[in-house]
Amino acid sequence: MRTIEDLDVSGQRVFVRADLNVPLDGDRITDDGRIRASLPTLTKLRERGARVIVAAHLGRPKGEPAQEFSLAPVATRLGELLGTDVAFATDTAGESARAVSGALSDGDVALVENLRFEPGETSKDEAERAEFADRLAELADCYVGDGFGALHRKHASVYDLPNRLPNAVGDLVLAEVEVLRRLTVRPERPYAVVLGGAKVSDKLAVIDNLLGTADRLLIGGGMAYTFLKAQGHEVGSSLLEADQLDTVRAYLDHARQKGVEIVLPVDVVAADSFSADAGHAPAPVGSIPAERMGLDIGPETRELFSAKLADTATVFWNGPMGVFEMEPYSHGTRALAEALTRSGAFTVVGGGDSAAAVRALGFPEDQFGHISTGGGASLEYLEGKTLPGIEALDA
């Protein structure tokens, strides 16, 4: 793939597709990790005299402007982190964006409004996407793809726009792809994968592919209850995808045949309701009360998972072990993160909620080998899929 160094960017308007999809509480950014991850590429372009036009999405607006999804707070924070004013266009590819783009000087940075305010960004109609990509292309002289978390989407700014301008891959995407190749091409062993989060259906494809790659799969979070039910355990009122039980049983059989160890919780923290104030207590997986729901892995499982990670050389983790946002159910995710920092392995935190949990629980990012900016993109790469954004930049 072409890199930034392959582009002559001095005095050129450079369209950077970034991933600035940060969580907001009103106008307050609660986790600026993705903004900080974009800084090296933006700084390098500024230092080389580029006129930088940053574009990104935030949330899932329905193809029209919505104030709660505005990138205005992101422009403010980006400026603070870069140490310079960041001009903000109040539209994406309209009059404001054209005016802001045309007014840039060498080293300046602008951010255009949420790409998903335009229906053409996410449209499945190729002509509609193409029309939007044409309007975006008028803003710039060249393109840099640096939004790893969006590369698995066949969207106008990710897939169609790079074909209209001289293009290159940004440093963030280069680093992400290098790490993922390290996980998929002869990973150092033992190689363990830890999967959590709510739904097993979201991760069936990656589990299927990992049965041919990983040595050990540790499964926690809400998805674990479907596995436990498939083994014959009653799970009370815990999250359960009953329609996936036969598929999960088949995966358990396949894992045994392949010699892949699947490690499931042996106890959980079971609560009366989905609330931080609910009554809760550890329960063995064979004795979860019918009226209670599991909201975290239990203390024995924390020790088990830690022991299973102690001898590893490579670990990929995607998905929290419980409802970490509520303090009573954060201990499993904290224990897992602590186990990774002690393991001595090359550890990859696979974006999304896992990355947010690491930061929310106060772990320094440099205690992990790599913290990804893209949960969905990371998983699809590990499934063996070709990411549309990579395909466009590699053309």
SS (H, E, C) 204-246: HHHHHHHCCCCCEEEECCCCHHHHHHHCCCCCCCCCCCHHHHH
Determine if residue 229 is labeled as part of a ligand binding site: no
In Å, how far from its chain's centre is CA 241? Answer: 23
Helix (H, G, I), strand (E, B) or coil at 1: coil
**Sign for the pseudo-dihedral over CA of 128, 131, 137, 138:** negative
Q: Consult the annotation and say whether 325 binds a ligand.
A: yes
Q: Is 36 annotated as a binding residue?
A: no
Structure tokens at 24: 């907001």
94 assigned binding-site residue:
no
203 is in an annotated binding site: yes
Is 369 annotated as contributing to ligand binding? Answer: no
Three-state SS string over 72-113 comes to HHHHHHHHHHHCCCEEECCCCCCHHHHHHHHCCCCCCEEECC
Per the CB < 8 A criterion, the answer to whether 298 and 282 are in contact is: yes
Q: Is 28 annotated as a binding residue?
A: no
Give the residue from 383, 378, 1, 368 showing the smallest Cα distance to 180. Answer: 378
- Which single residue is written with the structure tokens 């790659």? 213
Residue 20 is labelled as binding a ligand = yes
HSE of 75 in the Cβ direction (CA atoms, 13 Å)?
Answer: 21
Tokens 């607006």, residue? Answer: 61
Q: According to the annotation, is 57 in a ligand binding site?
A: yes
DSSP of 177-209: HHHHHHHHSS--SSEEEEE-SS-GGGGHHHHHH
For the annotated catalytic residues, the residue numbers are 34, 199, 352, 376
Q: Is 351 annotated as a binding residue?
A: yes
Please compute Rg for the chain using Cα positions: 22
Q: Report the distance separating Cα 168 and Cα 269, nearest Å.
A: 48
**Both tokens of residue 155?**
């969207």
34 is in an annotated binding site: yes
Residue list, annotated binding site for substrate? 19-21, 34, 57-60, 116, 153
Residue list, annotated binding site for ATP? 203, 294, 325, 351-354
Residue list, annotated binding site? 19-21, 34, 57-60, 116, 153, 203, 294, 325, 351-354
Residue list, annotated binding site for (2R)-3-phosphoglycerate? 34, 116, 153
